Structure 1
Amino acid sequence: MTNGNATTGLRDLNVGAPGADQIKGAVSAVYDDVASWSRTGDFWNWGMHDQEMLNELNRLRPGFNAGVSDGFSEQLYYQTLRGLPYSKEEFKTLKVLEVGCGMGEGLNFLTRLVDPARAVGLDISGAAIRRANALLARGDRLAYVEGDAEKLPFEDGEFDLVINVESSHNYPDVDLFFHEVARVLKPGGHFSHIDVFDPASYVRFTKLQQEIADFEWFHERDVTENVKSSIRQRMAPGSFFRKEYARKQMPLRARIIGGIGGSHYAGADFIGHRDALAKVLEFARIRTRSVAEYESYRHHLARRG
C-alpha cells in the first residue's frame, strides 16, 4: 500500500507534490465554496449523452429532468448501474454508499430510480453535506455524512454497492481508497467506478486493478465520446447549462475561475475548448491546463471476493 504523501490521485505526480492533508484541505475548500453558490438540482460532473440511455431513463421516469436539468449528469449516474447483476426487485434490498457525493443530487436521483433499502452519501466538503442533508435526506433511507474517502467511517461489510463518480482523481492515495471500498463492501458486493483519465493515471489504475486481490474487475466501458457530447451541448449558445450559469449568484472569483459561460466547470478543456479568459488565466498561472491532459473517461465494475 502506498504512503499517503507519495501520490497525487491516480496521476502519480510524485515530484514536488503537496502532502495528502494539503490536497484534501484544498479540495474541501474549493467544494465548500462551490456549494455556497450552487442551486438545487446542480450536479458536480461533466455528464454524458447516450440516446439509448436517455430513452430508457424517460421510460423508467418520464420527464425525469423537466425544468431542473439538461439530463446529462443523470445519465452519467445511471451509467454507474449499467452492467450490475441486480434485478429491479434486488436493487430494493441493497445498502448503497456513494463516495464523493458532492451535494447529493446524483445519489438522490438514483434512489428515486431504484429505491434501495438504504443509501448513504459521503463527501469531504462539510458545506456540501450540510446542504444535502437539509434538502435531500429522507430519514434512514437516504442520509449524507462528511468524511474522508481514504478513511471511510463505516463498519466492515456494511454495504452491498459502492459507487464513485468523477471524484477519485482528486484523492491523494487511491490505493487506500480502493482498500477501504473493499473493506466496507460485503463479500459478493459491487464497486462501480467512473472517472476521467490521462495516460499515466490509466496505467496506474490498471496496475491497481491487478494488485488489489479483493476485487474481480469484470466490466469496462469507454464513455469518452458520450462525455464529450455532453460538454459540447452544454457549451452551445443558449443551452440549459449556459442559462443556469448566468442566473447563479456567484462571487467574482468563481466566475473568473469558471471562465466565459462556465466553460471550465463544464469540462470544456476536455474537448479542447479554451476561451480567451482561460488563455489569460493560464498565461498568468492563475489556472493550470491540467484538465486538458486528460484523454479518456471510463466506467469500471468490480465484484468483492
Structure 2
Amino acid sequence: MVLSERRARILALIIDDYVDSAQPVGSQALVQRHNLPLSSATVRNEMQALEIEGFITHPHTSAGRIPSNRGYRYYVGSLMREKPLSAEERARILHQFHQAARRIEEWTSLAATVLARALGNTALVTEPRLREVFFKNMQLVELGERRALLVVVTADAAVHQRVIEFDESVDQESLTLLANRLNVELRGRRWHEIPAPQVRPGDQLSVEAAVLAELTDLLRSLEREGLDDIVVEGVREMLRQPEFEDSDRVLDTLAAVEGRELRRALPVESLAPESVAVVIGDENREGPYQEMSFVLARYGVEGGVAGIVGVLGPTRMAYADTVAHVRYIRDVLTQLIRTFYGGD
C-alpha cells in the first residue's frame, strides 16, 4: 500500500516525535511543533485514516497515537532518510580501532562498545567465521532394519555424522544407490539450496525425504555454530528506556539477550550481502523479540570469513541513525578482516 504524500509525511512526523519523546503524539501538538500548514482537525482526520489502515495505534490511556509495527516497516522501507555519520565521528571511531590491539577479539568487543554507547541500545557482534557450509558428499551406512548412519563431508573436509530413523525398512544396496545419486545432485549446495521433501500431513516420510531433511538440518546447524561467540554490550543502557519500566519486561529482556536465546533469535536469513537488515517487532520469533527490533549486517569477506554486527532494541528506535552506525561499523570491520586475512 502506498500512502499519499500528506499522509506519509504525517506518519513520518509521528514516528520521529514518538522516537524522541516516548510519548503518544496528538494532532494539535503535531501542528504546533512542526508549523504544519494544516488545521488540527485535518491532521486528526489523517491520523484516524492511518489508524484504520494499521500504521498507528491508540493507547488506552492517551488521546495521542503511537506507531504500529506496520507503521515502522513503512517508515523504514519508504520514508526513512539515512544520514551518514559525520566526518568527525567516523574519524573518532576509526582512531579507536587503530589504537586497539591487532586481534579479532579486540575488534569485536570495541565494535559492540562503540555501537552501544552511540545508540543507547544493545549491540551485538559475532566473531568472524567461515559462515557458508557447502555439501561435498555423503555416505549412508545401514545400522538396522530402519536405521542408518549419515556421514557427511563438507567442502572444508570436515566430517559430520547423524543417525537417521526411517518409517520403512532399508537395506545397504538401496542406501548406497541413494547416496550416490544425491552426491551428484547436491554437491556444492548450502542448506537452503537442498530441495524440501514434499510430504502431506499424516504421510510417512520416505527414505529419501528423511535423508534430505536430516542433511538440511545438519548443514543449517553447522552454519549457525558460527554464532556461538556473541559479544553483547549496552544491555544496561537499553533497560533505562521507558519501555522497560515494567519489571516483568525487564526480566523477559534479560532472558532475550542471554547468549543461547539470542543465537536462536538472530534473523540471519534476513541478511543479504552489502545490505543492512531491519527486522521489526512481529517479524521476529515469538517472545520478547516481538516487541523489539534488530538492525543487522554481515561483515567480512563474501564467501569467506565473516560475522554479524548489529543492534537490538525496542521497536521505538531511531532507525536512520542506527542503520547508519551499523553500516559504518560493518565497513570498518570488513576492511580490518580483509587486511588481517589478506583478502582483496
Scaled by the length of structure 1, the TM-score of the pair is: 0.21
Structure number with greater Rg is: 2
Asked which structure has the greater RCO (Cα within 8 Å, sep 6+), the reply is 1
